[in-house]
Structure 1
Amino acid sequence: MKPESTGRIYWNGEMETLGPEQQRAIEEPKLLRQLEYAWRASAFYRRKWRAAGIDPRQIHCAEALVTLPFTEKDELQETQEATPPFGANQCVPLDQAIRMQATGGTTGRPLRMTLTRHDVAIYNELGARGGWAAGMRPGDLLFECMNYSLYAGGVSDHLSFEHLGACVAPVGIGQSKRLIEILRDVRMETCLWSTPSYALHLARVAQDHGIDPVSLNIRKGFFSGDAGLAIPSYRRRIEDALGLVASDIYGLGELGGFAAECRYRDGLHFLGQGLLIAELVDPASGQAIALRHGAVGELVYTTIDRESCPLIRFRSHDHVRVSTAPCPCGRTGFRFRVLGRSDDMFIVKGINVYPLAIQDLVLGFAPVLTGEFQVILPDPPPITYDPPVRVEAGDGVDPAEFPALRDRVTVRIREILMFTPDVEVVSFGCLPKTERKARRLYRRYRGETP
């Protein structure tokens, strides 16, 4: 449903302002049809549910969804390797699929999936809802700096934003110098779609060439791919560096960009009404948690209108805090803030630690620290040792100051996060900068190296 005018608040006002009973009346029949379809068309789900002793055709209400087992990405990776090219959850013949895309897999190999024309329309609808909520509009010249090499943030998001009506320029990654030249040539206000870390990378490249990043005239920044904007100081750093307003869009490569901030910037609105069902669960026990104000848990998603690769109770591993307080924008879906990834969380002597929380503290040491950091876990749990944390000194900081800086960071982390790190301060430029998702945690015992 396309908006009637650019002055309109919602992309799809009918769905984004649904009341609970209206939403249930739309979603429950679609859920039951999706479960029956998955049972019939997906060999992956038939085996999975039979092994659990469950017949989804006996489910007659949305509340019974919790009786089905979760779907993990590594399961889909395994079935893809056993039944190439797309695995046993490929539900349509290839002549009905019009797109293949890939997302990161746990083995390091991409998780491939296909989309039918109908699936692409759903993906575009979700992306348009998210982009519109975040402030993207027809008439915006949007430079897309995501990875176009199979990654959903490239082609699929590009086409979602075209569907919204934006004029999208496919830049990709590794083109920062060329992008700066184009931005200076077009002589108009523009927009950026990238990871938060890329925005700072772009600002650094401009500065290295003697160009004020603010003069590039990027005035709207739409960001996804890592959770940096959840940290207010990181958001301000991006906004100050480029002179733009930063907006957060959240999604999964397997599902699309289905959540975004509105102009009030008070959390991410869930925008999947009528297309996705979201649940909140305890990441350790898997028990359902009511989507109430202040609730904390992991978000789990179920497609209810997908043809090629349905996903039933698909774990995001994103740990969030929910808000159900009314938003002045009028959207009725719950909002949430990402606290970190539950599969990135590590436990130090009984204390749960998220890299995102470490990032928040490290950024507070600017400008003597750049904000770049790495957590390196040499040995598997239980972590009874002080985990190594590398932080990068700011430009011009004298190495003689490193010991005192190390002690300050150690004390700050111990006071706020309640664990003692083994801090190492490295010189400016020693930690890698990336145009892709910024990686912060390395488990050396799994063979992961910085």
Structure 2
Amino acid sequence: MAVPFSDRVWSEIETIDPADARRIQDERLQQQVAYLAARSALYREKFAAHGVDPARVRTVEDLADLPFTEKHELRESLASTPPLGAHLAADRSEVVQVQASSGTTGSPSYVGLTPSDIQQWCEMGARALYANGFRPGDWMLHALGMSKGFVGGLPVVQIAQYMGIVDIPVGAEAGADRLLRVLADQRPDILIGTPYFLAYLAEQTPEVLGAAASTFGVRALSVGGEPGGGLPAVRDKLQGLWGATSREMLGGTDFGVMYWGECEAQDGMHFHSPDLLVAEIIDPETGEVLAPTDGAEGELVYTALGRQASPLLRFRSRDNVVVTGTDCACGRTGYKIRCVGRTDDMLIVRGINLFPSAVKQLVSEFVPVTTGEMRIRADFEGHTTQKPLHVVVEAADDLDEAGRAALVAGVEGRVRSALNVKVTVELLPAFSLKRPDHVKVQLVERV
């Protein structure tokens, strides 16, 4: 069990001067690139193909001259050199754990971990969860997926144990009824899960347990696994239902469970681990590196520092983010972001770029005449269309015809004025759309 640095932050590195953090990154980047050149067949090949001299990579700024690593390269690497790919950079005998991605965008990616890698994952996760309000001694109900090697499962248990938190590892696969029975029996202090599943759990609590979710004493929620937890309407709903704080975290299988976490200010997730990871923001169209200034928007690109088994260099995450701040009253010096969607989820409607989560936020503004649930039903190939988007929205059951007509007109008008995109809205009965469990919500349904 590790010990937090202070009442405010888990690690002293979170409050370090950015210039000092950059010096640490430069030193560790040199070490990691040298390690890749010596130990990774994938990166030796990439360096040779792109004319990269590893010895000339001295600073984080030098990363801009290096090639990206794409998801398809990892899939090809895993297929050609099983079980962990040509990018495995440690001896197989050093690997003690394997984790897998959710596989929602293709075949799962498998990631090997040495004991040192596990310690890194735990340290990064502890920083994020501590910012989310989780504390040693808390009891945590585990509502992320526990199966399929997903990083929301065993690695979250490991992070909790590293922090001195008691994990109750039920998992989302057990279903709402089972989780809520455990909630009533164990009275956890904290919950972790996807935002929409935790909202669904709270909505089911009166029926299953005969009382509101807010009566069971949960103090704090950590939500992630999909964009949306930072949307004001989603957060307000979660906090109202549970009577608890709700803060976001963000991560991914390839580098760690979570390495961004939202503090008590609740205006974006801090980057907590400059000593273990380099996070760049790029223009997804041009690849140009963008400065992380207020309002900057782009795609996150990551480079591991100090990883042994499956280190990656300039990996394109496809997470599209907006920088919400560069300082904070909490004392953390890592800039803050909000994830607004995935670059590969983006739709282009008559030349306008649109993230489905933006439509979700607007629909959520119409609660309680809607449940807040919606899906875009795409009847076109790829990501581009010239036609209005077909959006299905769950309406409250007690709406009369006039109310339903007003809701359709209201949502269509709100989307058009806010996003400059035309949609046609179809109303569905409340709770007719499939609710998420341990998987990510897919806001776009292909028809």
CA-CA distance at 1:399 after TM superposition: 6.4
Q: Which amino acid aligns with 1:155?
A: L
Which residues of 2 match residues 32-431 of structure 1 at below 5 A?
Answer: 32-105=30-103, 108-149=106-147, 150-175=149-174, 176-186=176-186, 188=187, 190-209=189-208, 210-256=210-256, 257-380=258-381, 381-398=383-400, 401-431=403-433
Shift in alpha-carbon separation, 1:359–1:443, aligned structure 2, 3 A? closer
Summarize the Cα distance change of 1:4–1:323 in structure 2 as closer, same or farther, 3 Å threshold: closer
Amino acid at match of 2:217: N
Distance 1:11 1:71 in 2: 31
Deviation for aligned residue 1:11: 1.0
| Preserved CA contact (<8 Å) 1:102 1:111 | yes
**Larger deviation, residues 43-52 vs 267-276:** 43-52
Q: Deviations over 1:190-212 (max 9, x none)?
A: 21011111111211222223332
Q: Deviations over 1:405-437 (max 9, x none)?
A: 222211111111111012211122221001124
Q: Which one-letter code corresponds to 2:204 in the other structure?
A: V
**Which deviates further from its counterpart, 331-340 or 373-382?**
373-382
Distance in structure 1 (CA, Å) of the matches to 2:225 and 2:310: 22
The one-letter code matched in structure 1 to 2:347 is F
User: Quick check: 390-399 or 18-27, which moved more?
Assistant: 390-399
- Aligned amino acid, residue 251 of structure 1: G
In 1, are the aligned partners of 2:141 and 2:188 still within 8 Å (CA)?
no
Indicate the SS of the match to 1:177: helix
Scaled by the length of structure 1, the TM-score of the pair is: 0.93
Structure 2 distance, partners of 1:74, 1:168, is 35
Q: Is the 8 A contact 1:3 1:10 kept in 2?
A: no
Which of 24, 27, 42 aligns to 1:26? It is 24
Deviation, 1:438, is 4.1
For 1:429 and 1:10, locate their aligned partners in 2 and report how far apart those are by CA, in whole Å. 40
Q: Which amino acid aligns with 1:71?
A: T
Q: Secondary structure at the match of 1:347?
A: strand
C-alpha spacing 1:430/1:400, structure 2 compared with 1 (3 Å): farther
Which secondary structure does the structure 2 equivalent of 1:76 belong to?
A: helix
Structure 2: stretches of 5+ with no match in the other structure: none
Q: Tell whether the 8 Å contact from 2:9 to 2:131 is kept in structure 1 after alignment.
A: yes
Q: Secondary structure at the match of 1:218?
A: coil
Question: Is the contact made by 1:73 and 1:105 (CA closer than 8 Å) also made in structure 2?
Answer: no
The 8 Å contact of residues 263 and 330 in structure 2, kept in 1 or not, is answered as yes
Cα offset, 1:54, TM superposition: 2.1
Shift of 1:352: 1.2
Cα offset, 1:404, TM superposition: 3.9
Q: Please tell me whether the aligned partners of residues 74 and 106 of structure 1 are also in contact (alpha carbons under 8 angstroms).
A: no
Give CA-to-partner distance per residue, 1:377-406, whole Å, 9 cap, x none: 222354111121111112333467544422
Distance in 2 (CA, whole Å) between partners of 1:97 and 1:238 is: 39
Deviations 1:273-307 (A, max 9, x none): 21001111101111111122332211111101100
Alpha-carbon distance in 1 for matches of 2:369, 2:324: 35
**Distance in 2 (alpha carbons) for counterparts of 1:87 and 1:189:** 40
* Secondary structure of the structure 2 residue equivalent to 1:174: helix
Aligned mates of 1:386, 1:98 — CA distance in 2: 51
The count of corresponding residues between Structure 1 and Structure 2 is 442
One-letter code aligned to 1:367: P
- CA deviation after TM superposition for structure 1 residue 50, in Å: 2.1
**What amino acid maps onto 1:89 in structure 2?**
H
* Distance in 2, Cα, partners of 1:325 & 1:95: 42
Which amino acid is the alignment partner of residue 371 of structure 1? G
The SS at the match of 2:345 is coil
Shift of 1:98: 0.9
Give the Cα separation in 1 of the matches to 2:363 and 2:401: 18
CA distance in 1, matches of 2:103, 2:386: 29
2:240 maps to a residue whose letter is: D
CA contact (8 A) 1:142 1:193 kept: yes
Instruction: Report the CA distance between 1:324 and its aligned residue.
Output: 4.5
Aligned equivalents of 1:442 and 1:4: distance in 2? 41
Code of the residue aligned with 2:49 in structure 1: it is A
> Structure 1's 107 and 61: CA in aligned 2 closer, same or farther, altered over 3 A?
closer
How far off its partner does 1:60 sit?
A: 2.6
- CA distance in 2 between partners of 1:368 and 1:29 (Å): 55
Range with bigger deviation, 16-25 or 358-367:
16-25
Secondary structure, in 3 states, of the residue corresponding to 1:280? strand
Could you tell me how far apart the structure 2 residues matched to 1:289 and 1:180 are?
44
CA distance in 1, matches of 2:377, 2:405: 19
Contact 1:249 1:259 in 2 (8 A): yes
> 2: distance between equivalents of 1:185 and 1:156?
24
Q: In structure 1, how many angstroms separate the alpha carbons of the residues matched to 2:402 and 2:85?
A: 56
Cα distance, 1:323 vs structure 2: 4.2
Change (3 A) 1:414 1:107: closer
For normalisation by structure 2, the TM-score amounts to 0.94
Between 409-418 and 213-222, the greater mean CA deviation after superposition: 213-222
CA distance in 1 between counterparts of 2:66 and 2:327 reads 31
Identity %: 36
CA distance in 2, matches of 1:236, 1:113: 36
In structure 2, C-alpha distance between the alignment counterparts of 1:417 and 1:249, rounded to whole Å = 26
Give the C-alpha shift of residue 179 in structure 1. 2.6
